[in-house]
Structure 1
Amino acid sequence: MVTITHIDTACMLIDINGFRILTDPTLDNAGHLYHHGAGVFSRKTDNPSLPPSGLQPVDLVLLSHHQHMDNFDHKGREFALSVPLILSTKPAAKAIRGITGLDDWESFSINTARVPGLKITATPAQHHPWWVPGFIAGKVIGFIIEFDSQEDGVIYISGDTVYFKGIEEVGKRFKIDTAIFHLGAVQVRYLTGAGEYTMNGKDLLKSIQRLNPNKVIPVHYRGWTHFKESEATLKQILAGDPPINRKVSFLPPGVPTTI
C-alpha cells in the first residue's frame, strides 16, 4: 500500500509498505524572510501540517535541490541530516556531507524487504525560463520511484521545473501511474520580469497530456510569496479540461491519502 501525506510546499511523506520517504523537506514555521541566492528573497506564509517530531521514522529523503529555501529550509535540513540516506543532485552532494548525488537518468537501488526492487532514478528538470542561464537557479532533478509490485506504472516527482523537452523524455522512458508536479508559476519580477521558474497550470495540462498518468497530485503552489499563480486559478484552469481534471487530487494537508 502507498500513502502520501502533504506536509508543506513540495514536502511529502510517501509511505510504501512501511518504507517512509520524505521529499524536499521544508519544516520551518511561517513568517520568515529567506534569501534563495542570486538576489532572490521571499517570505514563507504557511506552516507545515506536521512538525518534525510527527514524521519519524523516515528511511529516505529525496531532495530535488539544496540551494533554495522553499525546498530545503532550516528545520528541513536539520531533519534530513538525521535520515540514513539522502538522494539529490551532484552539486548538493559536493556542498553537504552525507548526501548521495545522482546525474540525470542515474538510478540508485535500495535493498529493503519492505519494498522489493525499490529503485530511484533521477530525471532532468529545468528550473528557469529558457532565456535565463541554468547556473542562475542551479541544478535540479526530479525522481522516478519504482518497485516490483507496481502494476500500473511508476511514481514520478517532477522537481522544480518548467515544461521542457525533458518532460517528454520521461514519458518515453517510463509508464507513469502517479505524477506529482511542482507548480506555483514562480516569478522573481524585480530581477527577471514575467519569466517563470516552475510550471503554471497550462504547463501542467501539457505535461499531463504528454505523460498520460493515471493520477496527478499538485504540490509546491502555495506557502511562499514568490508563487504567482493562486490555487483558485490553478483549479479553474484544470476545470477547463474535465477528463484531465478527473485525474487530479489536491491532498488535504497532514492527512495520509492512499494512491
Structure 2
Amino acid sequence: MYITHIDTACILLEIGDFKILTEPTLDNAGALYYHGFGAFSRKTEDPALPLSALQDIDLVLLSHDQHKDNLDNNGRAFINSFPHVLSTTAAARRLKNVRGLQKWESYAIDTPKVPGLRITATPAQHRPAWIPEFISGMVTGFVIEYEGQPDGVIYLSGDTVYFNGIAEVGKRFKVGTGIFNLGAVQFRYLSGFGQYTMDSRGLIRAAKVLQPNKIIPVHHSGWTHFKEQTAALQKVLQGHQLTRERTIFLSRGERTLI
C-alpha cells in the first residue's frame, strides 16, 4: 500500500493497483473561501501534484461536500462526472453522482484489483459539542476492508473532534492504519476556542482507544483556520510514547510505502 499526500486531507491511496482519492482539494493557494454560517478562511498551500497526475482513479471517498477545505472548486469539477464517489447522504442529495452511506452502512466494491473490498461509513462529529450538527453539516469517516489485510483495517477519520463515536470504531474494527484529519480547526470570531477537528491531544485519545499500528496525520497545514499546524503537532506527538513510535508524517507529493 502506498500513500501520497497531495493537499490538506487529499491523499492518493494505492492498494495494489486500486487507486482511491480522498477529499479532493486541488485549487492553488491564495483565495478566500466561504464555508457557511459566517466562516471564512484562506488557502495558503498549493497541491503537491497537478491534476494531470491523477489518472486512473478508481474511487473517491469524500467525508463531506459543504466545506471548501475538503472539496474546493477544482475538486468539485474533478468529481462532477466521476462515477464512483462515496460520501454522506446529504452530499448525495446535493451532488448527482455521489452515493451516500448511512452511519455503519457498508458498500462492497467488486474489483479484481482488490478482492473483498468493502467501505463502511463511520461516525464523525465536525463541531464542538455545544454547536448543533446543522451548523457544520453531516460528515462521515470511512473504514476500508479487503481480503488479506495483514494488520487490520484502514480507518479514515474524516473531519471530526474526538468523541464517543471514535471509540465505537475501535469496538467494531481492528485498525491497522489510522489516517486522521487534524489541525484544531477554529473560527474564533464565531465560536471562540471551540474546535471543529482534532488537535494533537484528541489524536492521542483516539490512538489510545483504536490502538492503530500506524498513525498518519493529515489536514494540519495549508489553511488559515488550522490553529495547530505541523510543527506544534509534531512536538506533542513526539513527546508521547504511543504516538512517537507509530506516527508517520508524510512528505507532500512523495509516494510513501506504508
Counterpart of 1:210, as a letter, is: V
Residue matched to 2:115: 116
CA distance in 2, matches of 1:130, 1:243: 26
| Residue equivalent to 1:149 | 148
Aligned counterparts of 2:80 and 2:17: Cα–Cα separation in 1: 20
SS across alignment from 2:246 = coil
Moved more, 240-249 or 134-143: 240-249
Alpha-carbon shift at residue 81 of structure 1 (Å): 2.4
Aligned residues of 1:11 and 1:24 also touching (Cα < 8 A): yes
- Provide the rounded CA distance (Å) in 1 between the counterparts of 2:244 and 2:136: 31
> Aligned with 1:246: secondary structure?
helix
Identity %: 59
For residue 17 of structure 1, report the CA deviation from its aligned partner: 1.0
Distance 1:54 1:243 in 2: 35
Give the C-alpha shift of residue 82 in structure 1.
Answer: 3.6
Q: Which amino acid aligns with 2:31?
A: H
Q: Deviations over 1:53-90 (max 9, x none)?
A: 11111010000000000000000111122432000000
Deviation of 1:94 (Å): 0.2
Q: State how far apart, in whole Å, the 2-side matches of 1:253 and 1:218 are.
A: 12
**Contact 2:35–2:68 (CA under 8 A) maintained in structure 1:** yes
Corresponding residue number in structure 1 for 2:36: 37
Which residue matches 2:83? 84
CA distance in 1 between counterparts of 2:251 and 2:231 reads 15
TM value normalised by structure 1: 0.98
TM-score, structure 2 normalization: 0.99
Map 1:166-205 → 2, pairs under 5 A: 166-205=165-204
Partner of 2:132: 133
Distance 1:101 1:14 in 2: 21
Matched residues in 1 for 2:95 and 2:161: separation?
Answer: 26
Amino acid corresponding to residue 37 of structure 1 in structure 2: G
Question: What residue in structure 2 maps to residue 70 of structure 1?
Answer: 69
- Residue 231 of structure 1: how far off its partner (Å): 1.1
Matches of 1:85 and 1:160, distance apart in 2: 21
What residue number does 2:241 align with? Answer: 242
User: SS at 1:163's partner residue?
Assistant: coil
1:221-248 CA-to-partner distances (Å, cap 9, x unmatched) read: 0000000012111111112213321100
User: What is the letter of the counterpart of residue 26 of structure 2?
Assistant: L
In 1, are the aligned partners of 2:81 and 2:97 still within 8 Å (CA)?
Answer: no
Q: Counterpart amino acid of 2:145?
A: E
The C-alpha deviation readout for 1:98-134, integer Å capped at 9, x for no partner, is 0000011000000000100000000000000000111
8 Å CA contact 1:119–1:145 kept in 2: the answer is yes
For structure 2, list consecutive stretches of 5 or more residues without a partner in the other structure: none
Identify which range, 196-205 or 232-241, moves more after superposition. 232-241
Superposed CA offset, 1:200-234 (max 9, x none): 00001110011000000000000000000121111
In the alignment, the residues of structure 2 paired with residue 110 and residue 92 of structure 1 have an alpha-carbon distance, to the nearest angstrom, of 20
Native 8 Å contact 1:59 1:84 kept in 2: no
Residue 151 (structure 1) shift: 1.8
1:61 paired residue number: 60
**Would you say the 8 A contact 2:34–2:68 is kept in 1?**
yes
Which residue number corresponds to residue 164 of structure 1? 163
Q: Which amino acid in 1 is paired with 2:166?
A: I
